[in-house]
Amino acid sequence: MYDGIYAGTYVGDDSSYDQGYWVAVITADPSTSFFLTWSMFAYNDGGHLSYMGETAGKTGHFYSLSVMNVSTIDAYIDSYNGFTVTGTWVNDSESGEFSGGQVDACTYSGALEGTFGGDDEGEWSMTIGTDCHIDGTMFPDVGGSYSFTGACHPDGYMAAMGSDASGTFIVAGQFSSATYVSGSWAAETGESGAFATRTSGGGLDEEGGGGGCFILGLIDG
């Protein structure tokens, strides 16, 4: 009953720095369910959700361990109050809270494509559904293709997660218009870079860049 797309914001010990946006995709299969984050300050992060059951009062309880920074995410969804979300995150050195709710409508939808650079280079494409769900593919110049899936945030952010031959990678960015998104990608191997919608010049636009992480302090920890 909790299947759907959710979004909100998070904050940490240092509210002037440890803050950002999150999106979650919940399906009946935990292996295709995600909790993903985006921040202005550092790297993106996320992990698969595990369904833990339903507590008293029709409240769904979900749990996740992030891939990049090993943060434990503990989330509750209250189906009695419009599927609102509250939860906490914690790691070895920091902790915080997050809140949000189920996404009812999507600001951006349609097909986009562009390029990515950094430790790896290539092209990407993605389709955003009217429900804010993202399906996309990375096409490295060295060959091969790697799919990713995620969701859009109502405030104009997106985050997605996929797997390549070496492990998990996260893609997170911000829309400046319905046809332009830019941000960063990071892999479990430590590789990272930027991505952006293709411009008339064929490369990364100067607007490209940005990034995201669950908590910057998690990187240092």
Domain residue limits, the chain: 4-102, 110-211
CATH class of segment(s) 4-102: mainly beta
What confidence score (pLDDT) does residue 42 get?
59
What mean pLDDT do residues 200-212 have?
Answer: 41
pLDDT bin (cut points 50, 70, 90) of residue 15 is low
- Checking if the pLDDT of 56 tops 70, the result is no
Average pLDDT value over all residues in the chain: 84
- Checking if the pLDDT of 210 tops 50, the result is no
What mean pLDDT do residues 101-130 have?
Answer: 94
Q: Which residue, among 40, 41, 11, 5, has the nearest Cα to 23 in the 3D structure? A: 5
- Checking if the pLDDT of 201 tops 90, the result is no
What confidence score (pLDDT) does residue 28 get?
82
- Checking if the pLDDT of 125 tops 70, the result is yes
Between these two residues, 113 and 208, which has the higher pLDDT value?
113
What mean pLDDT do residues 183-209 have?
Answer: 72
pLDDT bin (cut points 50, 70, 90) of residue 217 is very low
What mean pLDDT do residues 4-24 have?
Answer: 86
Tokens of 163: 């797997």
Q: What percent of the chain has pLDDT over 90?
A: 53
CATH code of the domain occupying 110-211: 2.40.128.120
Common-topology check for domains 4-102 and 110-211: yes
What confidence score (pLDDT) does residue 219 get?
26
Can you tell me the distance from the alpha carbon of 82 to that of 91, in angstroms, rounded to the nearest whole number?
29
- Checking if the pLDDT of 207 tops 50, the result is no
